[in-house]
Amino acid sequence: MTHITPVVDVKNLVLEFHTFEGTVHVLDGINLSIYDKEVLGLVGETGCGKTQFSRCIGKLLAANALIVSGEIIFKDKSILQMAEKELELIRGKEISYIFQEALRSLNPLMKIWEQMTDHIVDKEILNDIDKRKKTSMALLEDLGIADPDRIIDSYPHELSGGMRQRIAVAIAIINKPSLVIADEPTTAVDAITQLKLLRLFLDLKKRHKVTLLLITHNLGTVSELCDRVAVMYAGQIVEVASTIDLFKNPLHPYTRGLLDSLPKIHDDKKLNAISGMITDLRNPPTGCRFNTRCKHTMPACSERKPQLEEVENEHFVACYLMESDLND
């Protein structure tokens, strides 16, 4: 499978947080590409650096965060070398975000139509209230949201959590951005709303051809929605593959552990949890950061960090176990 030039190409990204308790080594040399019109899932345990990675792409980092090294190339331009004014022209227009809890990202004092069109690129629409309302209503109708005329004239607190989340999706795509980043968009809602959001994202993928980075714990959502999956552990990408390949043939021990821990229909056996504690990123182990929890640890694992290598067609793994298998 041959890819065109990626929309986003991240190379050797290293991110640290400087705190009173010491330096937190959040991202450790991340290499990852996102291609046009694909849905890329980014999965891993809580605290592994998924959200901070996504914030690096838009350079939306806390004041104590420091990108130590690396590159983030967005459509052939370096995000890290852009001035703030350049970034403001990209955020919300070329790169948009859907955050976990929509209520926090919506302005409680503005009606929905105002928020949907507040940063719209089309100046003709921006300067005409009637056109802003019609544009908002048309997009909600296109997304299959019922009663759009009532919704656009509502305030966020008048809507359910699920509806607010769908409004956040509408805001994210109104400018037809090159990349949408969805950070745990289904976590804070009930199961029925999760299903509705999944259908909405499937629609975005099929009809709107949105390029999406989906950050999630839900491997079921990944299996239904994503074209490729990147698995992150403690700030390191350990495996990247097509969704089909990853589920059929997981190669990294951590990926296998994640999939083995899923409950299975008609199976009463005890779930196989990954042993050990999540790595403390203030003092991570050298080499592969999973080596303190891995059943297959060998001396090289704690001596140097394994690199992502293509072990099968478009299937990349960072593990010395694969190297030993290939050399056998």
- d(CA 225, CA 183) in angstroms, rounded, equals 14
Cβ atoms within 10 Å of 245's Cβ, excluding its own: 18
Closest by CA position to 296, among listed 316, 261, 271, 325: 325
DSSP-derived 3-state class of residue 21:
coil
> The whole model's pTM is what?
0.91
- Amino acid present at 322: M
* Average pLDDT of the residues of the chain: 90
Indicate the DSSP class of residue 254.
H
190 vs 183 pLDDT, higher one: 183
Edge-first strand order for the sheet with 8-19 is 22-34, 8-19, 65-74, 77-78
Beta 212-215 vs 39-43: how paired, if at all?
parallel
Give the strand pairing for 8-19 and 315-317: unpaired
As a residue count, the chain comes to 328
The confidence band for 62, taking pLDDT boundaries of 50, 70 and 90, is very high
CA angle 14, 17, 22 (to 5 degrees): 120
Q: Which domains does the chain have, with CATH numbers?
A: 93-226 (3.40.50.300)
Say if CB 200 and CB 39 are below 8 A apart: no
Angle of the 191-206 helix axis to the 161-173 helix axis, nearest 10: 20
**Sheet with strand 315-317: strands edge to edge:** 95-98, 179-183, 212-215, 39-43, 228-233, 236-242, 315-317, 309-312
Give residue 265's pLDDT.
Answer: 65
Integer Cα distance of 247 and 142 in angstroms: 33
203-221: pLDDT as tens digits: 888 888 889 999 998 898 8
Q: How many Cα neighbours within 13 Å face the side chain of 305?
A: 16
**What does the pLDDT average to over 235-246?**
97
From residue 133, alpha-carbon distances to 113, 114, 125, 145 in Å are 6, 8, 9, 15
As a whole number of angstroms, the distance between CA 14 and CA 85 comes to 24
What is the number of other CB atoms lying within 10 angstroms of the CB of residue 223? 14
Residue 255 one-letter amino acid: T
pLDDT for the residue numbered 188: 67
Q: Would you place residue 278 in the very low, low, confident or very high pLDDT band (cuts 50, 70, 90)?
A: confident
31 phi/psi in degrees, rounded to 5? -125, 120
Q: Are 169 and 200 in contact (CB under 8 A)?
A: yes
Model confidence at 328, pLDDT cuts 50, 70, 90, reads very low
| DSSP letter for each residue of 171-205 | HHHTT--SEEEEESTTTTS-HHHHHHHHHHHHHHH
Q: Give per-residue pLDDT as tens, 98-119.
A: 987 776 789 999 999 999 999 8
